Amino acid sequence: MNFKNCAFQAMKLQIIISSPFHFVEKKRHVPLFIWSLNLSIVMTKIPLFLFISLITLSWAQTKNSAVTTDDYLDILRNNLSGEQAYETTAFIEQFWRVVGNEGFNKSIHKVAASLEAAGYVLEENASNTDRFTYRLEKRPLLHPTWEILDANITLVGENTPLLSYTSNRNMVYLNSISTPKNGTTAEVIYVEGIDDLQKISVKGKIIFTGINGPEIYTEGVLKKGALGMITYDNPDYLKPHKNINSIQFRSFTFDSKNSWGIALSFRAKEELKRALEKGKVYAKVIISSRIYPSEELTLVADIKGSEMPGERLVFSAHVQEPGANDNASGVGAQLEMATVAAKLIKNESIDAQRTITFIWGDEIISTKRYLQENEKRAKGIKWGLSLDMVGENTAITGGSFLIERMPDPSAIWTRGKDKHTEWGGSLLTLEDMKPHYLNDYMIHNFLKQGKVAHWEINTNPYEGGSDHTPFLDSNIPGLLFWHFTDQFYHTDNDRLDKVSQETLKNVSIAALASALTLVNGDSYSAMDIVKIVQNAATNRLSEEFLLSDKSIKAGNSVESEVAVVKAWEDWYIKAIASTTDLASPENAVILDKAILEAQAIIESQAKMFVSELEK
């Protein structure tokens, strides 16, 4: 045996295994002692074949770590079709869903029955060995629930209604009371603003207004005795001149003194205005609604983690609102993810080492309560994902699929490729930042599915307003999956014909594949994520440098532009560090090394860019 040659070969092998990324793709748990091997082995003159045999033996004695996101994507593409998500969306979108009303409750029970059919066991009947469980939480409602049965408004002298519930199911304000059975007929008075109510008498009449609906309702109806209110307020992004029959739903806060309100489509508004230009107008209004005491239902399902059940990822989809995409689609997508995951775990195609939880309930309220009512459980929640408006046929609705990022500097300096949606967002500060790898990790995975499926993926800066906000408020990483701009958002044209089974499939595959990687994640998964986030960071810093350089040349201050670059540097340094939440104790050292190397690259790049900007 030529021991000099053996020593040389051992030195080459030591160089290879000292790289923290070398074994990531192989997905093996490599014992720590192998990582610390050095040339002292060579000095013992162990033959190369014996040295390699030691490594081979140690690999054989350790199990494979979780499969990659690519593996999960492949498995799910063969097992998740979007069919159940679409069928569930079709069932739920029939109903005008308000918490506690018949449509809401039927939707919840539909999901519960589907979970049970997929093998989920009612929690109160479950044993310790049951991994798939669900529970139906019931709470009394503080205020009565509401549902609309029928409505129409007809201008006196006309043969056809101005609006009818059969074609415009959003025409009646939520929490409106019924009119007398034969309806209410009264003069329609146009009120331009709140000051008009001090000049004209509206008692016994119907107010028509285009602005400040709630304020005019309180002053004109509740205080000054108008019988009810008619409004028009469809924003431009709904393209009202094109979608002339759409009505965006409106609501009153519950009040035992409530009367009623009607929202108009663009066509109905124009017709009413033309009639008023000719002289006095009288309208007959018929509304049939139900207001009754009820209870709030929240459905929670769990896939119990096989190794770390106390740690969990939580999906949340709200049930209320009258639309198909908003948010019957989120309810349906989440259900199919829950049933497919259970099936694949049962047949041992996949596993979930941490717990996956699915919540269906009242937007924000149910999620917030889940985070607050059990402190011990809340401490184990590592990620939160909101599914809201996830089924759109964008060729019809417009806009695109979006991932709303956690608060990052794009919500302070919104520039370049970044832009807010028409929903809009408040200007954040550096104190509001939530650095975490979840942003770029999820974007990376969705782009992979998008490439295969020829499906467009975009992002928007943080705006809030859905079930991701309670997670962030509790300092839990949380993202929103949604679509915008949707020209049928919150309107009675948000129906099943605007929903795409293909979109439901794509969102569900990408979301569940990402979730499975996380709940099975370890140091090697974290090292993959470090690389993903490092690449995102270097790309972002390059983009921001070019924008800042251009801004300085246009006359803006160097100091303010340097602040932008440094803010992104700080955000990504911390985002990289957050990957330690996946670390396996026995492999923490290699992850720490990968983190430090990635952070050094980011710091070096930022330093170079700052230096260039300050020249």
Q: For residue 373, which phi and psi values (nearest 5 degrees)?
A: -80, -15
What DSSP designation does 353 have? S
Residues 319-339 have a mean pLDDT of 98
Residues 413-428 have a mean pLDDT of 95
Tokens of 30: 């490599």
User: What is the maximal distance between C-alpha atoms in the chain?
Assistant: 110
DSSP 510-546: HHHHHHHHHHT--HHHHHHHHHHHHHHHHHHHHHHHH
Report pLDDT for 512: 98
Tokens of 515: 């979730």
Calpha distance 183→196 (Å, rounded):
27
Residues 462-483 have a mean pLDDT of 98
Residue in 455, 538, 531 with CA at minimum distance from that of residue 68: 531
Strand 282-292 relative to strand 145-155, pairing: antiparallel
Question: Residue 203 contacts by C-beta under 8 Å, 6 or more apart in sequence?
Answer: 224, 225, 226
How long is the chain? Answer: 615
Whether 298 and 140 have beta carbons less than 8 Å apart is answered as no
Report pLDDT for 508: 98
Calpha distance 555→551 (Å, rounded):
7
Calpha distance 615→613 (Å, rounded):
6
What DSSP designation does 302 have? E
Calpha distance 544→551 (Å, rounded):
10
Q: For residue 289, which phi and psi values (nearest 5 degrees)?
A: -135, 165
Of the pLDDT bands very low, low, confident and very high (cuts 50, 70, 90), residue 22 is very low
Report pLDDT for 25: 36
Q: How far, CA to CA in Å, does 436 sit from each of 298, 386, 529, 547, 557?
A: 29, 17, 11, 24, 29
- 204: amino acid identity, one letter: G
Of the pLDDT bands very low, low, confident and very high (cuts 50, 70, 90), residue 201 is very high
| Window from 31-45, 275-289, 385-399 with minimum mean pLDDT | 31-45
Q: For residue 179, which phi and psi values (nearest 5 degrees)?
A: -80, 170
Task: Give the E-state strand segments of 375-441 in sequence order.
Answer: 381-387, 400-404
Burial bucket for residue 415 (CB in 10 Å: 0-12, 13-18, 19+): middle
Q: Where are the alpha helices (DSSP H) in 18-93?
A: 32-35, 40-43, 48-60, 69-77, 83-92
Q: Where are the alpha helices (DSSP H) in 382-464?
A: 394-397, 438-453
Calpha distance 486→393 (Å, rounded):
10
In the chain, the percentage of residues whose pLDDT exceeds 70 is 89
Q: How far, CA to CA in Å, does 597 sit from each of 20, 34, 527, 531, 590?
A: 9, 20, 11, 10, 11
List, for residues 92-133, the tens digit of each pLDDT value.
Answer: 999 999 999 999 999 999 999 999 999 999 999 999 999 999
Residues 266-295 have a mean pLDDT of 98
What DSSP designation does 171 have? -
Calpha distance 84→235 (Å, rounded):
33
Calpha distance 345→359 (Å, rounded):
20
Report pLDDT for 211: 79
Residue in 154, 120, 155, 119 with CA at minimum distance from that of residue 136: 120
Tokens of 114: 């589907």
Q: Is the pLDDT of residue 58 over 60?
A: no
Report pLDDT for 493: 98
Cβ contacts of 555-559, under 8 Å, gap ≥ 24: 558/613, 558/614
What is the average pLDDT score of the chain?
90
Calpha distance 245→309 (Å, rounded):
50
Report pLDDT for 213: 85
Residue in 269, 353, 282, 261 with CA at minimum distance from that of residue 311: 353
Tokens of 359: 């919540």
Whether 599 and 573 have beta carbons less than 8 Å apart is answered as yes
The 3-class SS string of 303-343 reads ECCCCEEEEEEEEEEECCECECCCEHHHHHHHHHHHHHHHH
Report pLDDT for 587: 87
Residues 555-568 have a mean pLDDT of 98
Residues 328-352 have a mean pLDDT of 98
Calpha distance 307→304 (Å, rounded):
9
| Window from 23-37, 454-468, 498-512 with minimum mean pLDDT | 23-37
Report pLDDT for 607: 98
Report pLDDT for 29: 36
Helix (H, G, I), strand (E, B) or coil at 230: strand
Tokens 């794009």 — which residue?
410
Of the pLDDT bands very low, low, confident and very high (cuts 50, 70, 90), residue 206 is very high
Calpha distance 583→529 (Å, rounded):
12
Helix (H, G, I), strand (E, B) or coil at 596: helix
Q: Is the pLDDT of residue 54 over 50?
A: no
- Residue with more model confidence, 23 or 183: 183
**How many CB atoms are closer than 10 A to CB 451?**
10
Calpha distance 307→545 (Å, rounded):
44
341-353 burial string, b = 16+ CB within 10 Å, else e?
A: bbbbbeeeebbbb
Angle at 321 between CA 316 and CA 326, to 5 degrees: 65
Of the pLDDT bands very low, low, confident and very high (cuts 50, 70, 90), residue 31 is very low
| Window from 46-50, 180-184, 188-192 with minimum mean pLDDT | 46-50
Residue in 285, 291, 323, 271 with CA at minimum distance from that of residue 164: 285
What's the gap between Cα 111 and its chain centre? Answer: 19
Report pLDDT for 403: 98
Of the pLDDT bands very low, low, confident and very high (cuts 50, 70, 90), residue 55 is very low
Residues 65-94 have a mean pLDDT of 93
Burial bucket for residue 26 (CB in 10 Å: 0-12, 13-18, 19+): exposed
